[in-house]
A and B are shown apart, each in its own frame.
Chain A
């Protein structure tokens, strides 16, 4: 195996090393989850404006049909993940904790096979025969959004304002969240496909340098990708090993580690010439280009207090209950489960009910039991400054929390820069809920700003 030529790098400020707990699901082959009886797909699968349903109750749909169209450019299409009948369209609680308009499909289990006539396999495509616009259009038409968790519409990321010069493309294979191994497994099983997807992205952006960042704990993936790129003689894509540190997978941290550049407050990666995409997104692009297959499922890690933790390919709209029961074979002891998290334990959120469903951005389902969660009341701030030491954005969490508690909107502009990674809450020795306070602080700042502007007009 050819080793990467590069020395491992990392972001310059802050970071923590939580227990990884990835051993529960690491190296478990991706298993396709059996189809559930019902799929509930909410219209807000992505950042931006939610999609508009174009189906009605009792309508019959086929796998891959468009069931919701994008509402303007900052939105994405949604496709039917399985064939069936539209049961109803209702307001339902989403995995993100808010009520959303949801399309419920009664799945037709007879038609489980993918209708092959819809998805022709094209083993080799000549990228040079496609124009940049055609490629972006194909990505848009297949409903592709970022698979890293935030679900930003990919076609928008690939169309930065014309005055921005993009010179670097980074593929994010860091997967820094504890417990999650979906991206790792995808990299091991679908390496060539991810590279092909990356080549599409590189062509669209017209970049000279492409880097695939992978954390050192996934050394087998680093070696595999390095070998393939070397064998295929692809010299403009390099694998960069990253020191294992949380939140290495954060966009700002990844860009800083690989290029040394910093994104100024309030700006985006394209403002400094960089575009970042998750490995899962690159894989979805491959499926769209080579198979004409829209986004209908994703690989999610189901782990924690379950009988069979692992990595599963799950259809969008599958309930968490079904995923845990049929994929992970249920909880180890239902009485002792205290929390089921949508995402990872650092940035994910506990779900209120288990009938919420998997979305395009759901990277993990983590079940935690009573022994793993210790709840303690907040203590006073002892001004130890550990939160400042670990913050990757160079903020002062203790000060932001204090200003929020004192309702000092004027001083909270910096709260907007917080990426809510959770380092500060994790490290605080008196259990202060710092990320929660800072989230509130963002709202306090915005409310203050609106009131200021209103009052300034009125005097």
Chain B
């Protein structure tokens, strides 16, 4: 009986002593933190993707509250989030137009190959070994390094080429950094027309090695009444500021190189079935 009482008392006393120490420690070591940081952090998407330029959402909240710089923008939350944060902070929101990633290639199954790549199945591996087996040196390699790195399920390989789901894309830049041949570009979401090709080769070879490549025919340049298409080095490119989404160039282009971007996976799958003049 005695042993039990002594044990219980001594452990109890020990626990009490530790409790007292913890109480004083919590006062002595208390860190002053602005409660606003936690409030802001609560409404952030917690994707921890780094698109804002800061590592992690908590760090974003900290930096925002400390510097009070409303220029810091979270592309995942977008303008809606920016307005919420602004009302929390009591400052003016700085809105930005939504940007999306776009893959500047439609080759894949439409493009010819010169050899048979037998190495590690990754785009980075192909690019580093310089063993791209497409005849076109600017082709999307199709092994999906971009898909692996996307946190938002916004990019997929369909028919051998990468394509972005613009509804889900948060412009976090991960796929753009990952792509070893740099054919993914950030473009404004509301400019819906783009030229999905990066080949600088002249028309003759392009016609032979890809049925959807830019052949430099310049029909699009002539069709555009807003002078929004720029032609250089055998490749056409759209100037977003001048483009009005009229789609005249899309109609003129007879290799289907100029496309109207598709929003959402449902549309993408639909267009593959119907084979319209749209992005794959």
Binary interface profile of B, 49-62, with partner A (CB < 8 Å = 1, else 0)? 01001110001000
Q: A433 is contacted by which of B53, B59, B120 (Cβ under 8 Å)?
A: B120
Q: A440 is contacted by which of B128, B177, B200 (Cβ under 8 Å)?
A: B128
Chain A: minimal CB distance from B215 (Å): 16
Indicate if the CB atoms of B129 and A439 lie closer than 8 Å: yes
Binary interface profile of A, 434-459, with partner B (CB < 8 Å = 1, else 0)? 00110110010001000000110011
Indicate if the CB atoms of A458 and B54 lie closer than 8 Å: yes
Which B residues touch A192, using CB under 8 A?
none
Name A's interface SS.
mixed
Q: A436 is contacted by which of B54, B55, B119, B201 (Cβ under 8 Å)?
A: B119
Indicate if the CB atoms of B130 and A349 lie closer than 8 Å: yes
Q: B59 is contacted by which of A349, A443, A459 (Cβ under 8 Å)?
A: A459
Q: How far is the CA of A408 from the CA of B131 in the complex (A)?
A: 24
Indicate if the CB atoms of B137 and A440 lie closer than 8 Å: no
Binary interface profile of A, 96-122, with partner B (CB < 8 Å = 1, else 0)? 111100000000000000000000000
Indicate if the CB atoms of A349 and B129 lie closer than 8 Å: yes
Indicate if the CB atoms of B129 and A93 lie closer than 8 Å: no
Indicate if the CB atoms of A459 and B129 lie closer than 8 Å: no
Indicate if the CB atoms of B125 and A436 lie closer than 8 Å: yes
Chain B residues 117 to 144 lying within 8 A of chain A, measured CB to CB, are: 118-120, 122, 124-125, 128-133, 137
Question: Is A38 interfacial (CB-CB < 8 Å)?
Answer: no
Question: Is B242 interfacial (CB-CB < 8 Å)?
Answer: no
Question: Is A329 interfacial (CB-CB < 8 Å)?
Answer: no
Chain B: minimal CB distance from A336 (Å): 15
Chain A residues 143 to 160 lying within 8 A of chain B, measured CB to CB, are: none
Chain A: minimal CB distance from B47 (Å): 16
CB nearest to B130 among chain A residues: A97
Q: How far is the CA of A262 from the CA of B50 in the complex (A)?
A: 42
Which B residues touch A440, using CB under 8 A?
120, 122, 124-125, 128
Question: Is B114 interfacial (CB-CB < 8 Å)?
Answer: yes
Indicate if the CB atoms of B131 and A97 lie closer than 8 Å: yes
Which A residues touch B133, using CB under 8 A?
352
Chain A: minimal CB distance from B231 (Å): 17
CB nearest to B233 among chain A residues: A91
Chain B: minimal CB distance from A321 (Å): 14
Known pairs A97-B130, A353-B114. 5 more at Cβ < 8 A? A96-B130, A97-B129, A99-B137, A440-B125, A458-B53
* Closest 5 pairs (CB-CB, A-B): A97-B130, A455-B55, A439-B128, A99-B137, A352-B114
Which residues does A use to contact B, with CB under 8 Å?
A: 91, 93, 96-99, 349-350, 352-353, 375, 378, 433, 436-437, 439-440, 443, 447, 454-455, 458-459
21 A-B residue pairings within 8 Å (CB atoms): A91-B200, A91-B201, A96-B130, A97-B131, A98-B137, A349-B131, A350-B115, A352-B133, A353-B114, A436-B119, A436-B125, A436-B128, A436-B129, A440-B120, A443-B124, A454-B53, A455-B50, A455-B54, A455-B55, A459-B54, A459-B63
